[in-house]
């Protein structure tokens, strides 16, 4: 089953802890429960044009809730903490004739669409 990046990344999680982690390049998302780490990495790179270094995931069970006399359960969900490269390094290589050619980094160093800047 092919999922688009919009199907994999459901929403960002904005808490006090996740807001503090933005300074070191860690962003937290609620993701599809069936998504793998490689799918999450590809989705974040395509959606936000950043270089992903690592992905950590955690599955959460739904909690028991009571509505008057009946018991119910909140839905279970999956969280992903994505670490991005915060330093863009320009690379250089030797071109034709031994000339040094510089290539600028094509990735961004932060996700501005996340709701706040660094």
The predicted-structure confidence for 65-80, as pLDDT tens digits, reads as follows 999 999 999 999 999 9
DSSP single-letter state for residue 108: B
Domain assignments of the chain as residue spans, ordered by start: 5-105
Q: Pick out the chain residues at pLDDT < 50.
A: 117-118
Residue 47 CB partners (closer than 8 Å, separation 6+): 5, 6, 9
pLDDT of the residue at 104: 66
Q: Tokens representing 79? A: 């969280």
- Please state, in angstroms and rounded to a whole number, the distance separating the CA atoms of residues 118 and 99: 37
Q: In a 3-state reduction of DSSP, which class is residue 21?
A: helix
pLDDT of the residue at 1: 65
Under CATH, what is the fold of the domain 5-105?
A: Alpha-Beta Plaits (3.30.70)
DSSP single-letter state for residue 110: S
Kindly report the pTM of this predicted structure: 0.79
């Amino acid at each position: 089953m092919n999922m688009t990046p919009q199907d994999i990344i459901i929403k960002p999680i904005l808490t006090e802890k996740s807001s503090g982690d933005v300074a070191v390049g860690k962003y937290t998302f609620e993701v599809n429960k069936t998504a793998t780490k490689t799918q999450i990495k590809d989705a974040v790179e395509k959606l936000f044009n950043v270089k992903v270094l690592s992905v950590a995931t955690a599955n959460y069970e739904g909690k028991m809730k009571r509505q008057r006399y009946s018991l119910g359960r909140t839905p279970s969900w999956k969280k992903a903490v994505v670490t991005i490269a915060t330093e863009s390094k320009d690379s250089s290589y030797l071109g034709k004739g031994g000339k040094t050619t510089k290539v600028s980094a094509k990735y961004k160093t932060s996700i501005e669409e996340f709701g706040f800047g660094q």
